[in-house]
Structure 1
Amino acid sequence: MKNTTKNIKTILQLFGYEQMQRRWFITKGSGILIHPDEAFRADFYMYALCISGSARLKINNENFTVKPNSFLAAIPSTIVQVLAHSKNFKAKVLVFERGFLLKNILDTRQLEHLGFFNFHSLAFVPFTTEEAQLLGGLLDNLHDKSLKQSVFHNEIMQSLIFNLLFETADIYARYFRQKRERGLYRDEELFMQFSKLLQANFTSQRALSFYAQKLFISEKYLISICKKVSGKTPGTLLAEAVIDEAKLLLARADNNVGMVSDALGFPSLPAFSRFFKKHAGVTPSLWQ
């Protein structure tokens, strides 16, 4: 069985840079290896900008279609799966560990202040061509600088990455101001808060009332928000989170079905098996 967690070292190997000892990585958009059948949990920050082609992604139980100029950012613990992609799909990608970027930084909450690395685990925005070109140029400069060695190489890279992130945050903030003016922001903000609560509590809390109370809204309003933003009910989103986590855990050679059942907070192994078969179509033993 495969360990489905990927760290910076794993990503470097995927891109053919096994000998590098880095806590960050950047590509201009060539040579990206994609595994459509494999979902994985990233333990790094991810910043991506599509430059050509298209791809269908499943990220934390939500489906997204990535097209040119699409911007995507995700925090550690995000579950990513590439469902399909065109032959010409390319993206400029930056991944980094929190410790590298915040080394010698007094305000360690700077990443959260950016907005797109905030309480929700995913940001997905279709930028304009002009905005994407600006950020793409910064990414290219970042990549070119990464190839030049100097005494203060890490410090220079840290500074350039922050410059890229702040420029992105400025564009991202304008995007959400526009959505707020159109009256779309409130529901999406509540949905993001629900998503955050779900990711933190789905192994122990599966009652709709728990999440509605935490958000200070009615269960009926929560259902309405989820359907409006994602097209799914809260119950479906909860079930998908549990099933995705179960599949990740079952994919590890050192886990058996009983251990996964316990880790996900089920009262018994039969209860877990019934739940898994209902939502995945097969028993956990057969899936494993």
Structure 2
Amino acid sequence: MTEQGPAQTSAHLGATPGDRAHIRTYPFDPSASVSGVGIQIGPMGTEGPWAGGVGLSRRVHRIDFHVLLFFREGPVHHMIDFTEYEVGAGDVLWIRPGQVHGFSTTESYVGTALTMQPGFLPRAIVEATGLYRYDRPPLLHPDPPQLAALEASLEQLSREYLDTSTLPLSLHTSVLRHSLTALMLRVAHVSAQAAADECAPQPDTTFSRFRSAVEKDFTTNHSVSAYADELGYSRRTLVRAVRAATGQTPKAFIDRRVILEAKRLLAHTELPVGRIGVAVGFGDSANFSKYFQQHTGVTPAAFRAEQV
């Protein structure tokens, strides 16, 4: 079962890598992994597989996979979707697929980077660990006992990752999945505490399916009823499920995703406002501008000017 990651809007724009008409997306590269498995573990900085791809990209960009950065030194300032996070020693930064982020150009990243391909873990573990809980904060501050447990779990996973000689590939991959599950359950516990929602119910299948559908279709579909029909739910069932998982209405959830994408394109590309409107589902520039101002309090042009 392969999890559906966030929609790659740049693909809809007909842009080519290297220009300012899109936000560059870095894909997961299995060939850079030991034995070609769906995860990579290496030091941040200039060594290991981390140095060959996004680790050296200082330009704002997307990734289509999960990145967890375990810091041994700090502070480091890292931007994720318009928020700058100050990360210290012992902190964990969790960047999810589709999020736009940028590395500091002046500070050193010291620690361990873990990258994970969507679909590497089974759906049950994806739900249990909140891999796509974009409502949770990226920056985690584990307490000393939690940090010690995370470090031990990460060390065990690293040993299994590098041990390619004692098991056939199929068993090696299974062991990696189990070891990664143990680590991610610990990370998820810290993440839940950070969001102050440990006791809140986990998203049910109804919300999970809705969330995936929105990620796939938000650039063309803003209708709650259309999503309900597509998924085979009544509108009332969908409203209950989304409220239970997020505290929002389905329409607010869709609007929030559309506005985030519009902000990303306004801030990080030079696309005209009209084309950005088209990219997020508005055929008319005036309608897009009205919608954006209604949800943000500023016009698209004013928001773009504020980012300079």
- TM-score, normalised by the number of residues in structure 1: 0.60
Which residue of the partner structure matches residue 43 of structure 1? 64
The secondary structure found in structure 1 opposite 2:77 is: strand
2:39 to 16, 21, 24: 24
Look up the SS of the partner of 2:104 in the other structure.
strand
- Pair 1:127 & 2:148 matched: no
Match of 1:163 in 2: 179
Residue 117 of structure 1 is matched in structure 2 by 131
Contact 1:8 1:25 in 2 (8 A): no
Distance in 2 between the 1:69 and 1:153 partners?
33
Residue of structure 2 equivalent to 1:242:
262
Question: Is the partner of 1:98 in helix, strand or coil?
Answer: coil
Equivalences for residues 39-188 of structure 1 within 5 A = 39-40=61-62, 42-76=63-97, 78-82=98-102, 84=104, 87-99=107-119, 101-102=120-121, 108-120=122-134, 123-124=137-138, 125-150=140-165, 151-153=167-169, 155-170=171-186, 172-173=188-189, 176=192
| Aligned-residue offset at 1:127 | 0.7
Moved over 6 A (4+): 183-186, 234-238
Q: Quote how far apart the aligned CAs of 1:244 are.
A: 0.2
In structure 2, the CA distance between the partners of 1:34 and 1:242, relative to structure 1 (3 Å rule), is: same
Contact 2:78/2:103, CA 8 A, preserved across alignment = yes
Seen in structure 2, the aligned counterparts of structure 1 residues 116 and 235 have a Cα distance that, compared at 3 Å, is closer
Tell me the alpha carbon deviations over residues 233-256 of structure 1, each in whole angstroms, 9 at most, x when there is no partner: x999964541204566x57xxx88
Flag the 1:172–1:123 CA change in 2: closer, same or farther, 3 A: same
Deviates more, 1:110-119 or 1:44-53: 110-119
Query: Once the two structures are aligned, what percentage of the paired residues are identical?
Result: 13
Partner Cα distance (1:174, 1:272) in 2: 38
User: Are the counterparts in 2 of residues 49 and 132 from structure 1 also a CA contact under 8 Å?
Assistant: no
**Is the CA contact (8 Å cut-off) linking 2:92 and 2:141 kept in structure 1?**
yes
Per-residue Cα deviation, 1:27-68 (whole angstroms, up to 9, x for no partner): 13342534343222x212323222212333332444432222
In 2: Cα distance, 1:83 partner to 1:149 partner = 32
Q: Is the contact between residue 56 and residue 82 of structure 1 (CA under 8 Å) also seen in structure 2?
A: no
Deviation at 1:258, TM superposition (A): 5.6
Q: Deviations 1:262-282 (Å, cap 9, x if unpaired)?
A: 221223246657943121029
Scaled by the length of structure 2, what TM-score is found? 0.57
8 A contact 1:246–1:260 mirrored in 2: yes
Q: Aligned in 2, Cα 1:133/1:278: closer, same or farther, shift over 3 Å? A: same
Does the CA-based 8 Å contact 1:54-1:68 persist in structure 2? Answer: yes
Letter in 2 for 1:5: T
CA gap 1:235/1:259 in 2 versus in 1, 3 angstroms: closer
Contact in 2 for aligned 1:28/1:139 (Cα 8 Å): no
Conservation of the 8 A alpha-carbon contact between 1:55 and 1:89: yes
| Gap change, CA 1:145 and 1:179, over 3 Å in 2 | closer
The answer to whether the 8 A contact 1:117-1:123 is kept is no
CA RMSD of aligned residues (A): 4.8
Which is strand-richer, 1 or 2? 1
Change (3 A) 1:154 1:49: farther
| Stretches of structure 1 lacking an aligned partner (at least 5 in a row) | 103-107, 207-212, 223-233
Q: Is the 8 A contact 1:142 1:157 kept in 2?
A: no
The DSSP-based 3-state class of the residue aligned with 1:143 is helix
